[in-house]
Amino acid sequence: MNTITNAQTADTQDRLNGSQDTPPKAMPAYEQIKRYVLKRISEGDWKPGGLIPSEAELVKEFGVARMTVSRALRELTSERVLTRVQGSGTFVAPQHYESTVLEIRNIADEIAARGHRHSARVLMLETSDDPQALDSLGLAGGLAFHSRIVHSEEGEPIQYEDRYVNPLVFPEYLQQDFTVETPNHYMVRLAPIQRAEFRIYAQKPDAYVRRHLMMEIGEPCLQLWRRTWVGDAVATSVQLWHPASRFHLAGNV
């Protein structure tokens, strides 16, 4: 495991404590820690599969409360940047190859562009207090909105959508009929997306997802995790599962 130098300590401490160049609205400490971890990984200091400093070491390094470090590592774990092994520590997750998606498109529009019929089946539309979802949305507490929807093309399921939504951004989300209008279309219509982050994986779905996508046991999925912002607020966090045999991503510049 790489050690943290005195120069790095001074640099990270200055970033947390502020300096003459610090903007009036400082970035939250847990976000700074996340960026620090991502920087060390992107620069190759911390390799895939390698052990990173412990929570206690990062607490000492940044001079913050343990819960701040814990939140940063927990969010990076939910985003699959890190993996945490009970009793062993936190490791850089194995590398996944990523592909650029040039735009966020509505699944119904994609299907219509192929001259086919889109339909949707709402499996769940409820409030949720899931801690990982609240962290991903940047909510300190309370509830998030949660929907699970299966999208079909000509009656054949091609996307399982598991979405959490920030109720402060879309307070009427639970009142919508998502068999008529997709969540993506509804949210973009009300508040255009300012930015997004995403990751793409090849995964085997669990039995619940597999059943709703009418897949064979062992058949792989293309899974896309995406988080989008409206202004400074995280608007939604979503996982999209697609049967690899029925779906592909494409784009052009």
pTM for the predicted model, two decimal places: 0.60
Which CATH superfamily includes the segment(s) 107-243? Answer: Chorismate lyase-like (3.40.1410.10)
Residue 186 pLDDT > 80: yes
How far apart CA 205 and CA 243 sit, in angstroms, is: 9
**Residue 90 · residue 56 · CB < 8 Å:** no
Closest CA to 71 of 144, 27, 141, 132: 132
pLDDT of residue 166: 96
Is 208's pLDDT higher than 50?
A: yes
pLDDT of residue 99: 39
Alpha-carbon distance of 103 to 208, in angstroms, equals 29
Rg of the Cα atoms in the chain: 20
Structure tokens belonging to residue 35 = 């960026």
- Per-residue pLDDT of 94-125, as tens digits, reads 654 433 444 577 899 888 988 999 999 999 99
Residue 197 vs residue 251, higher pLDDT: 197
Give the model's pLDDT for residue 195: 85
Per domain, the residue ranges of the chain are 6-92, 107-243
Q: Do domains 6-92 and 107-243 have the same CATH topology?
A: no
Average pLDDT of the chain is 83
The listed CATH number (2.60.120.590, 2.60.40.1660, 1.20.1300.10, 1.10.10.10) that belongs to domain 6-92: 1.10.10.10
Confidence (pLDDT) at 149: 98
